[in-house]
Amino acid sequence: MANSKDIDLWLGGEPDLMPDSKTESEPEDAPEAENIIEDKSDNSSENDAVEVTQDSSENESESSGQATSEFVPSEVPERDRNRGDEAYYVGKGGSAFGFVRQSEASYLPAKPRLYVAPGTKKDDEEEKFGFPEVAANTQRLFIAIEIPRKLKREFADLAKSFRPREFERVRWIDEEAMHLTLKFLGDTPVEQIPDIKNTLQRAAESTGKFSIKIGRTGCFPSFRDPRICWVGFSGELRRLEQLQGRVEGGMVALGLEEDDRDFRAHITVGRTRPGIRGRFAEDIGVSWQHAPLHSTGQTIPVNAIALYRSFLNDNEDTEYQQLANFELG
């Protein structure tokens, strides 16, 4: 225990000062440490500043380089027909001779090509409807076999089976214009008509009478692309072809133009109007293919051939005049 005479440091007297925690915790060389820390921080800040300045200088250099350099598109080579239609050519074996990189700046696509079916006509070359002008001192003639009027009326009524829109897309032939044509002569000089009559007389006398039958409906060139809607024939077609051959040979012998198309017996009932193509034309072909032709198989006697003339009357309507009729032998 402590003696009463001893001075209690906590109750009075002159005790020693309490130790300062700050002074004891801080070493004597604290200022130097602070200087070292400050030096390190200064060095790091200087390094950061240097790096920032370098990065900024690099960015500035890159931006300046982009600003100063302009985009120059690559040159496109001229088209060489010997190398094909493409504007860019790669040699055989995959070599890059003459190759130009196809980028958005240099690529030139080839012009598109439209497919045209062989044997088809362009819209500008479509057959023009109407009666063309006839040259002076000429008559428009053709040679044909007459068809009974009852059958003509039935052929004309086939158009009534069409829907209204399809009906308007076809130019329907009048009953008077329906004939089984053997030869179309066109504009023929008037002074040549007597020789034509004599030739037809000899062709008719050398051919005996025969009969044919009503066939089915058809289209030229096809049901998918109908240009002409017709009714065909069956039966003694070989004898009909022989008669047509005699008529054709006789007209060519007179100096008239030869028909290079193969003869196909038919009666034209309608023609599609210009510009009707694609789905609209296919609809016409389907309707004509399923038209209700009730006279199929009916027999028609062929007893004579006739020479016809077509002309325009005062009302600008087409009329047909029979110039001569020749009985078969």
Closest CA to 179 of 264, 56, 269, 243: 269
Q: Which residue has the higher pLDDT, 111 or 130?
A: 111
Q: Is the pLDDT of residue 91 over 60?
A: no
Q: Does residue 149 carry a pLDDT above 90?
A: yes
pLDDT digits (tens, 9 = 90+) for 161-215: 999 999 999 999 999 999 999 999 999 999 999 999 999 999 999 999 999 999 9
Report CA Rg, the chain: 52
Q: DSSP states of 162-215 as a string?
A: S-HHHHHTEEEPPGGG--EEEEEEEEEEGGGHHHHHHHHHHHHHTS--EEEEEE
DSSP H helices, 29-94, are: 30-68
Where does residue 86 fall: left (phi above 0), alpha (psi -120 to 50 degrees), or beta otherwise?
Answer: beta
- Tell me which of 51 and 162 has the higher pLDDT: 162
**CB of 179 closer than 8 Å to CB of 266:** no
3-class secondary-structure state, position 266: strand
pLDDT for 316 equals 79
User: Nearest-CA neighbor of 235 among 215, 214, 212?
Assistant: 212
| Domains present along the chain, CATH in parentheses | 138-327 (3.90.1140.10)
**Structure tokens of 193?**
């008509």
Each residue of 154-168: pLDDT tens digit?
999 999 999 999 999
Helix (H, G, I), strand (E, B) or coil at 298: coil
CA 230 to chain centre: 27
Q: Decide the pairing of beta strands 138-145 and 180-189.
A: antiparallel
Whole-number pLDDT of residue 129: 47
The pLDDT, as a whole number, for residue 87 is 46
Q: How far apart are CA 280 and CA 282, in angstroms?
A: 5
**Res 53 pLDDT > 60:** no
